[in-house]
Structure 1
Amino acid sequence: MKRLVHTTALAILMSMTVACQADADKAAAPTTGKTATAADSVTVESPFVRAVPPGQPNSAAFMALVNASDTEHSVKSATSPVAATVELHTHTNNNGVMEMRQVPQIDVPAKGRTELKPGGLHIMLIGLTQDLKAGEKAAITLTFEDGSTTTVDAPIQEVTPPKH
């Protein structure tokens, strides 16, 4: 009987040790849940690049940025293989004269959207490395404040200038 009690006590002690070790392993294991990045939270809708005549040095890209998260995000830069330089821009009215200005970032509000459109915010493609023909596509990579990126293949389209 004494031996049975001793064996039972040893079995209980061993099972408790195994259970404690399993809890410790679980606590030490890395979590499989990934923190969402800005690129995960912001989607691009209706992207397009303005077609330009052959030899034209510059163009622009437009799109809507939609943020599904509860956190504001911002595009800090962009790149494209179709241009030597890519800049974030806006148009401003300076005493009745519309001027383009580079901006440090394009903000996308939490649970909101930001429109990049002719006459407003846009992405400038400067020093084109190829002709931008309607019907083709141009890749544009957006880099967000957290370093995450998303690349879109924007259709190249003829754009009629806005009427005043």
Structure 2
Amino acid sequence: MSSFISKAGAAFVLVFLLACVPGAFAHEFKVGELEIGHPWSRATPPGAKVAGGYFTVTNKGNSPDRLLSISSDISDKAELHEMGIKDGVMTMRPVTGGLEIPAGGKVALKPGGYHLMFIGLKRQPKQGEKFPATLTFEKAGSVTVEFAVEGMGEMGGMEDHTE
């Protein structure tokens, strides 16, 4: 009987926490027809001047949109970058003209591909905290999201994604 009570009590506590803290486990944002999923960054070592930012954007609309700019109080500026391999050499370059989010499509900003760079850090992102940033899209407009800061070697739950 005490085993049942323990399981029932644990289930009650979990349901209670989920009901009292809506969105505590969800980490998604919406603007217009766009859904921004799990914005995250990595903790940085002392003295680091840059940090990366990652998330997914799903366009539920019938027309493409474009990520135009990013801003955050955590850094002097933020830029959209693309990493790639050219002639066996890894390259990273700023993306000019924004990043298209195709109609009915999904774009993943992740390590090794498209990503944000927070340049000129004003403070070090620490594991377990969150910091805000504003994403501006051509059609959907602006939305403020919260970047969850994970450990230095983390992949933001994206290690299983191949997109």
Counterpart residue number, 2:58:
66
**Could you say what secondary structure the match of 2:32 adopts?**
helix
Counterpart residue number, 2:116:
123
Aligned-pair distance for 1:147?
7.2
**Could you say what secondary structure the match of 1:64 adopts?**
strand
Counterpart residue number, 1:40:
32
Structure having the higher helix fraction is: 1
**Could you say what secondary structure the match of 1:100 adopts?**
strand
Counterpart residue number, 1:135:
128
Take 1:81 and 1:136, find their aligned partners in 2: how far apart are those partners? 14
Q: Is the 8 A contact 1:58 1:128 kept in 2?
A: yes
Normalised to the residue count of structure 1, the TM-score between the two structures is 0.72
Q: Is the 8 A contact 1:49 1:138 kept in 2?
A: no
Q: Is the 8 A contact 1:54 1:132 kept in 2?
A: no
Shift in alpha-carbon separation, 1:92–1:78, aligned structure 2, 3 A: same
The count of corresponding residues between Structure 1 and Structure 2 is: 126
Counterpart residue number, 1:51:
43
Counterpart residue number, 2:100:
107
Q: Is the 8 A contact 2:44 2:125 kept in 1?
A: yes
Kindly report structure 1 stretches of 4+ aligned residues shifted beyond 3 Å: none
Q: Does 1:93 align with 2:80?
A: no
Superposition CA RMSD, Å: 1.9
Larger Rg belongs to: 1
Normalised to the residue count of structure 2, the TM-score between the two structures is 0.72
